[in-house]
């Protein structure tokens, strides 16, 4: 969650690595939540409630990550086109 908070203030070119790391850490957190439930250290109702919230956060993070990846790819394409432009020769 901390990385998601920080990512919102980073420059455009710094957001993608931060969000990728946040996504990996979030997946790890979901894994540990499941372990807690499977070992009985977390009740079914608690697990259901937390899983619902985690799913919402995951959708938001996934959408943000996808948008930043698309922006990054578009920027790289534009840079490549600018380098091949006849004006640069």
Domain boundaries, position 53 = 43-67
pTM value? Answer: 0.77
In a domain, 48, yes or no: yes
In a domain, 81, yes or no: no
**Residues 12-33, mean pLDDT to the nearest whole number:** 95
- Residue 58 contacts residue 1 (beta carbons within 8 Å): no
* Dihedral angle, C-alpha 23, 11, 74, 59, nearest 10 °: 30
Q: If pLDDT is split at 50, 70 and 90, which confidence band does 89 have?
A: low
Query: What pLDDT does 86 receive?
Result: 60
Sign of torsion over alpha carbons 32, 38, 42, 44: positive
**CA 81/CA 3 separation, integer angstroms:** 32
Q: How many domains does the chain have?
A: 1
CA nearest 53: which of 20, 86, 29? 29
In a domain, 55, yes or no: yes
pLDDT tens column, 67-79: 999 998 888 787 7
In a domain, 33, yes or no: no
In a domain, 63, yes or no: yes
């Amino acid at each position: 969650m901390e990385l998601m908070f920080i990512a919102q203030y980073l420059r455009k070119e710094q957001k993608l690595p931060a969000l990728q790391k946040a996504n990996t850490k979030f997946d790890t957190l979901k894994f540990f939540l499941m372990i807690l439930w499977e070992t009985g250290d977390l009740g079914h109702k608690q697990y259901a409630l937390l899983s619902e919230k985690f799913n919402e956060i995951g959708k938001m993070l996934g959408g943000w990550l996808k948008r930043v990846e698309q922006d990054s790819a578009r920027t790289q394409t534009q840079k490549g086109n600018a380098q091949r432009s006849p004006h640069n020769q």
